Amino acid sequence: MTATFEESLAELEKIVARLEQGDVPLEEALDVFQQGMVLSKQCKETLENAEKTLTKLMTDNNEEVPFEEGDAK
């Protein structure tokens, strides 16, 4: 089963918090970091797809498209 965006983001936040504590052994930290990178990529792709969908919907309805490169923070 594929995780939702919210589930992936929550897991990524847990990973970041764990790594920030600094008490994770090196090998484990590398594994956890790699998991975090995978989750980060998944979240980024989900957001990009959502933006494309919204842009298409708004363009199809002749509405102004508010998204510009670099707007996401």
pTM given for the model: 0.76
- Give the end-to-end CA distance of the chain in Å, rounded to a whole number: 29
> What's the rounded mean pLDDT across residues 7-15?
97
> What's the rounded mean pLDDT across residues 1-22?
94
Q: Is 57 exposed, middle or buried (0-12, 13-18, 19+ CB in 10 A)?
A: exposed
Written as six digits, the tokens of 4 are 């939702």
Q: Which domain holds residue 9?
A: 5-60
Look at residue 72 and tell me if it is in a domain.
no
Please report, for the domain that includes residue 31, its CATH number. Answer: 1.10.287
Look at residue 9 and tell me if it is in a domain.
yes
pLDDT (tens digit per residue) in 30-69: 999 999 999 999 999 999 999 999 888 888 777 666 666 6
Q: How many domains does the chain have?
A: 1
Contacts of 59 (CB under 8 A, 6+ apart): 65
Look at residue 66 and tell me if it is in a domain.
no
Query: What gap in Å lies between CA 2 and CA 12, rounded to an integer?
Result: 15
